[in-house]
Homo-oligomer: A and B are copies of this chain.
């Protein structure tokens, strides 16, 4: 199972797509060449060490031995190398031992790692989220104690939100935290679906747990956030006594089978309050924003992996004569128009998703420097990255199977695994519907559509620049204009109707998210066309730049055209939805 990190495309995106690329690295002293060197190093490590694990890991799966989760054999050694080489530290502050890469580059690192194996990638991904939460909400003492070992990869982190009765609805969390005399809390309850909730890859696991103090208000505003280490950390900073948290089972899953998904029982485990009581959900949202963005990148990652395998197979597999009569012999299937169509859909969706993710990371970088407008734009784009890129990864991995024909259905071929692995992505860290509610409720309705209109305005600026360009640039502009109009019509309808008929509006929330995601991707591909055209004029890297432009036109004419149907669903489909729902 080979994998090559797509460094050329990644660097093109990092260089050209962040709204203010110079802002991202300002002060950090990190140059593009440093980023490229780091990503190339990570890419080699992932090709050589991680990618070969993905099949064996899937076959063996994680299993429970007593209360210990046992991962497939080679994972421990691979993880040790990963930590030793410092790959966990890429995105984190230098103050705690990190490399301080800008988020746009960190997103690329997340993609590369997860493309090589989603199951492996989940452990660092959750650690990144926990680090992010502690950085923003932990006390200085907590930061001193936990961050360096986590950023070094010696310890990992988890998010403990879900309980059997509380999935999307965190207000139903029942887990309890009783204050003790020494200022700690005794945490008790059951948490489920805890990714890497138990494993032996690291010396310690830092669980971040949502629970209720005794006098907390009911519902989501009575949740507090606690650090509950697997091993309590002594004054010297080393893991000591085992805490009262036990893994009671691991799930038997459709995919990401090598990653342990734990049911954890907390039985008076010692926990340390993070920040203030009853503000846990608010803090968790910080961690969730990072994790949601990262899961969207996982969608791009598994898509890239599926692309590489499908392309390789299509070049090798010989079957049937070309339909244009250009050969009397059977040809590699890559010469058949429908195989080309499938491969191009896969590539356009993958490169498009990457462009959106890196551009969004660019807004997050800007926001970090205090731009409130940039934060609004980033908040608007994150649910698109999460939901659009993961929903589309289902299509890309499915096409990957289809390109392989019957061989795709055989597990040994390996591409069925991508199809299985990807299926969790539109579910965990908030389902697509949850992202759509977030987009519509918090990011669109709350400010009366101001950010959404700003987004449309930015798209329109790109259209206008494209209209001054070459024929392909104009072709992209044409479809971009149609799709933006579909977005604006849908937005107007939602703003007009949400208050009086919330069911109608929220019945259109996923179509609206998919429309907006599609438009946002095409916008970034349009910006890619502008950048590639400029470099073409300098005569740089002609083949690559021409391909970027051709892929963008394909995207505009084959994928962006789906926005029209979404608009009809939103603006003319709400009555038929609610009528038909009466008969469910």
Contact = CB atoms under 8 A, between A and B. Distances in A.
A411 B584 contact: no
Contacts of A169: 319-320, 330
Interface stretch (A25-33, A362-370, A457-465, A542-550): A542-550
A243 interface: no
Interface in A186-216: 192-193
A433 interface: yes
Contacts of A314: 584
Contact of A338 (B318, B507, B561): B507
A5 interface: no
A472 to B, nearest CB: 8
A423 B419 CA distance: 10
What size tier do the contact residues of chain A reach? 35 or more
Contacts of A253: 409-411
Interface string A151-177: 000000000001001011101100000
A167 B577 contact: no
B167 A319 contact: yes
A424 interface: yes
A557 interface: yes
A66 B324 CA distance: 47
A387 to B, nearest CB: 11
Q: How many copies does the complex hold?
A: 2
B568 A565 contact: no
A553 B579 contact: yes
Given A576-B557, A579-B553, A394 B405 contact: no
Nearest to A343: B584
A569 interface: yes
B402 A338 contact: no
A531 interface: no
A251 interface: yes
Contacts of A584: 311, 314, 334, 340, 343-344, 347
Contacts of A423: 398, 401, 409, 416, 419
Q: Most chain-B CB neighbours within 10 Å: which of A251, A431, A577?
A: A577
A580 interface: yes
A551 B409 contact: no
A283 B325 CA distance: 26
A432 interface: yes
A426 B402 contact: yes
Contact of A324 (B168, B343, B503): B503
Contacts of A428: 406
A48 interface: no
A162 to B, nearest CB: 7
A405 B577 contact: no
Given A405-B167, A583-B547, A584-B340, A553 B565 contact: no
16 contacts: A168-B319, A168-B320, A169-B330, A172-B319, A193-B406, A337-B578, A338-B437, A338-B506, A341-B510, A406-B428, A416-B423, A419-B423, A551-B583, A553-B579, A553-B580, A564-B565
The 6 closest A-B pairs by CB, nearest first: A337-B507, A547-B583, A254-B416, A338-B433, A340-B581, A554-B580
Interface of A: 162, 165, 167-169, 171-172, 192-193, 251-255, 311, 314, 318-320, 323-325, 330, 334, 336-341, 343-344, 347-348, 394, 398, 401-402, 405-406, 408-412, 416, 419-420, 423-424, 426-428, 431-433, 436-437, 475, 502-504, 506-507, 509-510, 543, 546-547, 550-551, 553-554, 556-558, 561-562, 564-565, 568-569, 572-573, 576-584
